[in-house]
Structure 1
């Protein structure tokens, strides 16, 4: 069996037990906080609160500063005609900080604008008031300027046939004109020169620019130049260097009645021509407005000339143009040296396509004399000229045979004779003159096809004249040449902006490779082209934060 026992304490009166417990609790020191710990905790709480106050103040300061940055950039834009104070005020109002803006100062001229603004927003402190700091200031300062330095620009513009599709040439002309307006504001100080370099299958220097360089004397019908691959390794073209002229020919026309080829591979006169270092916005925009689409695409040739017009080697040509009143005298010393710290050089190149095959006359048809004689009938009217072809050349004898072909009173006739039509009045045509008069197909059809049927010339002779031209550069070598000249330009410090305008992937890749960086490459469509040109122009005019 079990017995219960009770301790003496358990039998103590009730009041005495409570008193003992209270005394024990008062004497027990386990878990007590020292005075130092209490003070330390309070200090830590205060400093933690200070950190919270400071964090709130920094967030507010960041908001003030970001608003200042955006506001002064917008206000400093030369194109923004709104009063700079109003622009900055509107930014702060939109951010709900209208009372934080303290000052706005600005200076402006036709070519430069500088805006400085300050802001301050007081924040009531929480914990910091315990140490006597009742508020914190979130202060900000920002300065932006938009100014045009000495700038040389080459605009390398695609005018190939595909630019005529879907009004692309219209969009390009509008975008390029707006580009000029941004860089050359009305009544502004002239600091910028722009060269326009249109290109399709070639670059037409035009009669004006060509006269300040040295093209060979092959002919004077047109002014396009061909280059060897090695010539893309360097950026300069000296005005005294003899340049190889492209043959003047038309590879498509079959018109046998024409007095001049209707579609020359190189444009004639100043159609789609180069304009060098102009500071006249009206003249530049007029020239741009006259650009029309046609032909193949040779971006490498466009870049070669765009780069050459920024290279100091071209200075003698530009100086001579200034002396003749074609370039403002203030820019007679351009292109500036690449090392000139006060001058920036830019190329803006755009394409809607990709490099295609380039052609020239075969060497045997480009140089020397042809087998065709012309009788101009003793007058300057080319419409009644007569032509004959030497089909049998019996050297050292008088037994030569000439094919005569005539159109008289809408009647076609032909014959074979021992002398050219016109006799001693006839003269032998150079190949350059012959292919400037008729397309290669027209020469074959007019003078070779009947003698072929009659057994006087072989099919190979007829075929060779029909295709009197040959491919000189294919798409792959053209891409390689483009890469080379782009790299050469960038190595000299030229900034290259490259635009693919609704271009195929190969063209986009070429533009991306040519651009100074991924940020300098643009893949655009439709009306976005104008915005892209404007963005580039604003970048060139150096809209930036300076403080």
Structure 2
């Protein structure tokens, strides 16, 4: 009996252990979430793959769009070039074909006239989709639109160049001649007929405006040896060529002295090729004049700039009209200089110097007030005569200083400011200048990017950049 009881107890204990084990296993099974996490991860992965695939399709579409747009941009830029002799539409088609996009060109259109060409092109490319197809979109499309314009606007240019004595150094004059001649060729190239006028203004210590221009201004004439005006300081605050003033003619004499009775280096340049040539489109004549320029006398940048600005001011229109009537200027330039604000016309000064302002002297009126004295000083170098006829301590009685460097800088700043206020674009070139000269010229320019500080043959690059910018090509869309 005792044995049976013991066995029963053992069986009951084993049953209880087995039941508890099964209960613990069932509880573990109920708490096991590993299977549900696998399903969630699988679904998330599929969603991410779908979005990733859509992203791939979108990137591929954007790459196609970029390729189409960039090719269209390059194609219309090349086709719009006024120097392009091929058919503009053929140029666009050729660009697209060479990039493997011949079938993508939808249309091209050309609008051109005397002084402009506008080329417009549209492109479209279609490609099969990949993952976007899951959304029912079987293809992707990429399109582009481009338009380029090259317009030779009517341009009024004053080319103001330094021919002072220091230009004899370092081959500077020859470099200037080459650069200025190329500038004229570029600006007066084919397609510019009757659109671009250039006023060439050579300057040294003074500006010889020439008898033709001065015949239309009120002038107190004294002689016929040269044709420079004395301008009061007040006129440098305006671009206007004030005809309410009666200007004094500049004295004709030579200050520079080398021990001889030299007369080729007069303060007012005396030779006809040193005169202003106004409102010209004759490239041959302009280059011929440039080729004759010779370094002489001192430097008065402000006087060159004043004349350059004045020949862009509407107040000079009566001069242009008179010169047209005289047969000196082409009749197509009737009405120039046009009014400020005319959107079809660009007014610009290109101002070049190799130095900076210095002193400038005049003979006192007591010794320059009769016909005989005018003739005397035209035949005799001032210092040659003083050294032979006047005691050293008395020589200062014969002349006085009219300008110094500070005055020159101030007057230049005044006229540059007046020109910029009128919307005239000023490009300035400091050719092998010192720091002070560079600062003055940069201040005159329309912006720092309109100023070039150059050495040697770099002057040609500066003139070339300016000329091509004036005939600029721009992408409009």
User: Which TM-score applies when normalising by structure 1?
Assistant: 0.75
Two-structure CA RMSD over aligned residues (Å): 3.5
User: How far off is 1:32 after superposition?
Assistant: 6.1
Give the equivalent residue in structure 2 for 1:298.
300
Match 1:190 to one of 194, 197, 202: 194
Match 2:154 to one of 138, 150, 156: 150
| 8 A contact 2:265–2:296 mirrored in 1 | no
Question: Which runs of structure 2 are paired with 1:1-400 in the superposition (5 Å)?
Answer: 11-12=17-18, 20=26, 23-25=29-31, 46-47=50-51, 49-81=53-85, 84=88, 102=105, 104-107=108-111, 111-122=115-126, 125-186=129-190, 188-239=192-243, 241-253=245-257, 261-366=263-368, 368-369=369-370
Supply the distance in 2 between the matched residues of 1:525 and 1:517 (Cα, whole angstroms).
Answer: 20
Supply the distance in 2 between the matched residues of 1:221 and 1:20 (Cα, whole angstroms).
Answer: 125
SS at structure 2 position matched to 1:271: helix
Measured against aligned partners, the alpha-carbon deviations of 1:210-264 in whole angstroms (never above 9, x if no partner) come to 33333322322211222232211011114563222222111234677x6x83321
Measured against aligned partners, the alpha-carbon deviations of 1:429-453 in whole angstroms (never above 9, x if no partner) come to 64322222211122123434xxx5x
Supply the distance in 2 between the matched residues of 1:54 and 1:546 (Cα, whole angstroms).
Answer: 27
| 8 A contact 2:429–2:453 mirrored in 1 | yes
Match 1:445 to one of 372, 387, 399: 387
Match 1:534 to one of 443, 446, 464: 464
> Kindly tell me: are residues 155 and 43 of structure 1, through their superposed partners in 2, closer, same or farther at Cα, counting changes over 3 Å?
same
Give the equivalent residue in structure 2 for 1:435.
377
Give the equivalent residue in structure 1 for 2:393.
460
Give the equivalent residue in structure 2 for 1:413.
none
Does residue 514 of the first structure (1) align with residue 440 of the second (2)?
no
Supply the distance in 2 between the matched residues of 1:290 and 1:240 (Cα, whole angstroms).
Answer: 35
| 8 A contact 2:156–2:312 mirrored in 1 | yes
Supply the distance in 2 between the matched residues of 1:208 and 1:243 (Cα, whole angstroms).
Answer: 15
Which one has a larger percent helix, Structure 1 or Structure 2? 2
Match 2:416 to one of 486, 504, 513: 486
User: How far off is 1:97 after superposition?
Assistant: 5.3
Structure 2 unaligned segments of length 5 or more: list them.
1-12
Supply the distance in 1 between the matched residues of 2:313 and 2:128 (Cα, whole angstroms).
Answer: 61
> Kindly tell me: are residues 134 and 288 of structure 1, through their superposed partners in 2, closer, same or farther at Cα, counting changes over 3 Å?
farther
| 8 A contact 2:266–2:297 mirrored in 1 | no
> Kindly tell me: are residues 238 and 229 of structure 1, through their superposed partners in 2, closer, same or farther at Cα, counting changes over 3 Å?
closer
Give the equivalent residue in structure 1 for 2:7.
none
| 8 A contact 2:316–2:337 mirrored in 1 | yes
> Kindly tell me: are residues 208 and 51 of structure 1, through their superposed partners in 2, closer, same or farther at Cα, counting changes over 3 Å?
same
User: How far off is 1:107 after superposition?
Assistant: 5.0
Supply the distance in 1 between the matched residues of 2:301 and 2:15 (Cα, whole angstroms).
Answer: 109
User: How far off is 1:81 after superposition?
Assistant: 4.5
Give the equivalent residue in structure 1 for 2:431.
501
State the aligned residue count: 464
| 8 A contact 1:89–1:101 mirrored in 2 | no
| 8 A contact 1:57–1:136 mirrored in 2 | yes
User: How far off is 1:22 after superposition?
Assistant: 7.2
| 8 A contact 1:64–1:100 mirrored in 2 | no
User: How far off is 1:316 after superposition?
Assistant: 0.9
